[in-house]
Amino acid sequence: MKYGYFDDEKKEYVITRPDTPAPWVNYLGSPEYGAIVSNNAGGYSFAKSGANGRILRYVFNQFDEPGRYIYIRDNESRDFWSASWQPVGKDLSEYKSECHHGTAYTKMMADYSGIHSEVRYYVPLGKSYEVWSLAITNDTDKVRSVNVTGYAEFTNNSNYEQDQVNLQYSQFITKSVFHDNRVRQMIHANLDQIENGKEVDNKIVVNRFFGLAGAEVQSWCGDKEEFLGRYHGYGNPQGVINGKLNNQGNYNENGCGALTTALSIAPGETKEIAFLVGMKDDAEAGEIVASYTDTASVCKEELEELISYWHKQLSHFQVKTPSPEFDTMINTWNAYNCFMTFIWSRAASFTYCGLRNGYGYRDTVQDIQGVIHLAPEMAVEKIRFMLSAQVDNGGGLPLVKFTHNPGHEDTPDDASYVQETGHPAYRADDALWLFPTVYKYVSETGNVDFIDEVIPFANKDEGTVYEHLKRAIDFSMNHLGKHGMPAGLYADWNDCLRLGKDGESTFVALQFYYAMTILKEFAAYKKDESYIGYLDECQKNLGNLIQDLCWNEDRFIRGFTENGEVIGKRDDPEANMWLNPQSWAVISGLADEKQGDLALQQVYDRLNTEYGAILMDPPYHAHAFDGALAVIYNAGTKENAGIFSQSQGWIILAEALRGHGERAFEYFMENAPAAQNDRAEIRRLEPYCYGQFTEGKASPNFGRSHVHWLTGTASTVMVGCVEGILGMRPDFYGLHIAPSVPKAWDEFEIDKDFRGCHLHITVKNPNHAESGCKKLLVNGQEMEGNYIPEEILTAETVVELYLS
Ligand code: IFM
């Protein structure tokens, strides 16, 4: 079943049926002001932090309430509806609507009772407040008298948890008043006579506002219960039914902003107004509302500016292939998803309530990879930040606080860090993600000098980027398990594998092996011969160990428990086949071709499903070892044999590296949101963003996906597609082009900005190959192999590659 379609021209997803199987949301705003809005206007906003800056309330796990509601009431018939289908929820045979989610804006159109409304939700570029701009048109031939009421439900405390659960406190610090054209809600208003800005018990007055521009306020309300009325809900608020709000604020209990304006609209006429929300003191709020007096033109200009900003960001890498699903994901939606994970990490969605008030080390270092080809200058800022969260022993801080203070942080070795973050120990993989991320950044930009940049460590001291990477090697060398492979510690990539200081992880061993290959390239650049010798030796030993201990006829095992038992043996009753060691054996360069192909074939035969490859099989149930925490999940769910979508990116990349374009693309399509647009009732999640996992074949809900938007899937699939399927593989000195595509693709095009030049690449496939380069022409000149050295690039470089 379909609920909408992709408008690729406008880079929008258009929802034509509002009764979607889950709230389908969009992200608005910037790191300064974040806002999430669903196709039914549900959602919340926050200044800087989803945990501590919450402005608009959202009740989690209660199907999409409350939200940014705009009610329209016909004052003659007294009938009323909302500019989004919900919360009033008129009969869909009479109420027609469309929701357009675009890049950092959402538009909702509705037609009911001869009135057309269009509301656009956005956060203006560079601003830290939000706009709900409304155009309302009378499509009938008589004058219509309508009330328009905007409703914003403020939290009683900027801390999300305090607002939701500490009611004996948070309900008694809020108070709202009306001034000119806006409701002003104050938290801790009783401190307003205390010396300006002075804290009492760490508290000062916090101001929020809900304002109206473009029309006069007819009535207002600042109290949620008064607005809704007893035993009424968001679908039938008493204030809207009455046709006039009670002009009273709240004093205790629950604050809100509700503003009604009464409009008389002539036949064919359109009126434009805007509601504005933010966390600003009253004077600034007044200025903001006043700046929207010329409502229609200000909003139009702001929206255009926002759209051109985002479209420019995305323009740095665009493709035209025979697959509309691939194009829409790479050009727009996967890319936008990558930016959102890059910005918000795992902090704020309809699943993440904001309590994880920091960056997961591995998550963020991986997220960065998804935007390097689009915005390397943004990426490097965060790489610096993450390097500054590396402890001087080389390990990464498992959680990097949003308040991170490089050089002064506690570490998992300190009780204070453990108590504050809940992370009691180092994880084996965290710092190893730095290698591919730093490499991808340096190769994309050619900024090799970056490795000499000095960056502090999290706890003390500083070192060059090169030194940071060396310390990461030291960390793994200093944490080896019983056989001499990297220990699994508190977790490897898989949060549900606790292998401890003696148990060992094949995945980490493969990452470590790969890290040494990368660091050798940096060392070669530095002419650090003795270190290259050291790495050669370590890598050789590690490679031999992996080959001797981890290869099990046709697959790589997952590792060893603390007792030395093998995890993932062919004849284990449960979890005898794992996905990630197979893909990573190829990505890391450890597997020889025969091994790689055998292991990948096992994945295809044993783990692949129509929705992607499951993480392992069979699920844990009765045979879980002590550290196999995945057994806590239902079979077919999350790390217990779910289709863990992040891993799809790696299997796409591995198949592509082996030149298996058909397989790589098949894996892409199985889990691509856009490819499931017509199966929305099964997938449930938005068809334009990735989810953390899809329920596997062991689940009765096979194919249902969860944990939308903020997932490492965005970046791994992006890398799998850009580097793998499209074969864009820069190194320090130029660009390798090595596509691995379906045989049926005759031709495709890539527009890529690269080191200040624009590359227009056409890949031709007259012989219907999956991979291989027959000929490469750059500005008409034939290259040797499939490599373009940087020095021959021109401002407009025309590239033609013929597959073999
Ligand atoms: O790798 C982790 C990630 O850090 C958080 N979500 C689950 C993944 C797999 O366990």
Per-residue pLDDT, 20 = 98
Distance in Å, CA 383 to ligand 1 centroid = 19
Are 198 and 297 contained in the same domain?
yes
CA atoms of 22 and 681, how far apart (whole Å) = 9
Distance in Å, CA 614 to ligand 1 centroid = 15
Which token pair is 706? 């969860």
* 241: number of Cβ within 10 Å: 13
What mean pLDDT do residues 550-575 have? Answer: 97
| Ligand 1 atom index nearest CA of 346 | 5
Mutate to test the pocket of ligand 1, among 495, 643, 645, 690 (most ligand atoms within 8 A of CB): 495
Atom 3, ligand 1: which residue's CA is nearest? 363
Mutate to test the pocket of ligand 1, among 346, 489, 494 (most ligand atoms within 8 A of CB): 494
Are 496 and 447 contained in the same domain?
yes
Q: Residue 39 falls within a domain, yes or no?
A: no
CA atoms of 687 and 39, how far apart (whole Å) = 13
Distance in Å, CA 494 to ligand 1 centroid = 6
Atom 4, ligand 1: which residue's CA is nearest? 363
Report how far apart the first and last C-alpha atoms of the chain are (Å, whole number).
40
Q: Residue 8 falls within a domain, yes or no?
A: no
Catalytic residue ranges? 495
Distance in Å, CA 609 to ligand 1 centroid = 21
Q: Which neighbouring-strand residues pair with 200?
A: 203
Are 556 and 483 contained in the same domain?
yes
Are 597 and 709 contained in the same domain?
yes
CA atoms of 510 and 43, how far apart (whole Å) = 41
- Is the Cβ–Cβ distance between 137 and 208 less than 8 Å? no
Query: Which of 674, 699, 723 is the last residue in one of the domains?
Result: 723
Distance in Å, CA 50 to ligand 1 centroid = 20
Domain that holds residue 448: 316-723
Per-residue pLDDT, 772 = 98
Atom 7, ligand 1: which residue's CA is nearest? 495
Distance in Å, CA 493 to ligand 1 centroid = 6
Mutate to test the pocket of ligand 1, among 346, 363, 633 (most ligand atoms within 8 A of CB): 363
Are 249 and 350 contained in the same domain?
no
Q: Residue 745 falls within a domain, yes or no?
A: yes
CA atoms of 766 and 743, how far apart (whole Å) = 10
What percentage of the chain reaches a pLDDT higher than 70? 100
| pLDDT tens digits, 446-476 | 999 999 999 999 999 999 999 999 999 999 9
CATH for 656: 1.50.10.10
Structure-token match 């806006």, residue found: 182
Q: Is 238 helix (H, G, I), strand (E, B) or coil?
A: helix
Which token pair is 452? 């000499």
Instruction: Check residue 396 and report its DSSP letter.
Output: B
pLDDT at 236 over 90: yes
Count of structural domains, the chain: 3
Are 619 and 652 contained in the same domain?
yes
| pLDDT tens digits, 63-106 | 999 999 999 999 999 999 999 999 999 999 999 999 999 999 99
Are 745 and 648 contained in the same domain?
no
- Is the Cβ–Cβ distance between 581 and 493 less than 8 Å? no
Distance in Å, CA 362 to ligand 1 centroid = 8
| Ligand 1 atom index nearest CA of 644 | 9
CATH for 306: 2.70.98.40
> 65 φ, ψ to 5°?
-145, 155
Q: Residue 795 falls within a domain, yes or no?
A: yes
pLDDT at 132 over 80: yes
CATH for 751: 2.60.420.10
| Ligand 1 atom index nearest CA of 491 | 10
Atom 1, ligand 1: which residue's CA is nearest? 493
Distance in Å, CA 231 to ligand 1 centroid = 42
Q: Residue 577 falls within a domain, yes or no?
A: yes
Query: Which of 269, 287, 312 is the last residue in one of the domains?
Result: 312
pLDDT at 225 over 90: yes
Per-residue pLDDT, 54 = 96
| Ligand 1 atom index nearest CA of 639 | 10
Residue type present at position 269: E
* Spatial CB neighbours of 460, under 8 Å, sequence gap ≥ 6: 392, 407
What mean pLDDT do residues 15-43 have? Answer: 97
Are 426 and 493 contained in the same domain?
yes
| pLDDT tens digits, 754-778 | 999 999 999 999 999 999 999 999 9
Are 530 and 674 contained in the same domain?
yes
Distance in Å, CA 611 to ligand 1 centroid = 19
| Ligand 1 atom index nearest CA of 493 | 1
- Is the Cβ–Cβ distance between 250 and 257 less than 8 Å? no
**Kind and range of the H or E element at 665?**
helix 661-671
Mutate to test the pocket of ligand 1, among 493, 558, 578, 708 (most ligand atoms within 8 A of CB): 493
Per-residue pLDDT, 194 = 86
Pocket of ligand 1 (CB under 6 A): 360, 362-363, 493-496, 639
Q: Residue 2 falls within a domain, yes or no?
A: no
Per-residue pLDDT, 720 = 99
| pLDDT tens digits, 276-296 | 999 999 999 999 999 999 999
**DSSP readout, 782-796?**
EPSTTEEEGGG--SE
Distance in Å, CA 357 to ligand 1 centroid = 16
| Ligand 1 atom index nearest CA of 494 | 10
Per-residue pLDDT, 195 = 78
Distance in Å, CA 491 to ligand 1 centroid = 9
Are 238 and 137 contained in the same domain?
yes
What mean pLDDT do residues 559-573 have? Answer: 97
What mean pLDDT do residues 13-39 have? Answer: 97
**DSSP readout, 50-95?**
TTT-EEE--BTTSSSBSB-EEEEEETTT--EEESSSTTTT--TTT-
Are 303 and 336 contained in the same domain?
no
- Is the Cβ–Cβ distance between 422 and 474 less than 8 Å? no
Per-residue pLDDT, 196 = 73
Are 614 and 746 contained in the same domain?
no
Distance in Å, CA 610 to ligand 1 centroid = 23
- The C-alpha R_g of the chain, in whole angstroms, comes to 28
CA atoms of 107 and 8, how far apart (whole Å) = 16
Q: Residue 413 falls within a domain, yes or no?
A: yes
Q: Residue 54 falls within a domain, yes or no?
A: no
Say whether pTM exceeds 0.85.
yes
Atom 9, ligand 1: which residue's CA is nearest? 494
pLDDT at 261 over 80: yes
Atom 6, ligand 1: which residue's CA is nearest? 495
Distance in Å, CA 458 to ligand 1 centroid = 22
**Kind and range of the H or E element at 366?**
helix 361-369
683 pLDDT band, cuts 50/70/90, is: very high
Average pLDDT, the chain: 97
Query: Which of 705, 723, 741 is the last residue in one of the domains?
Result: 723
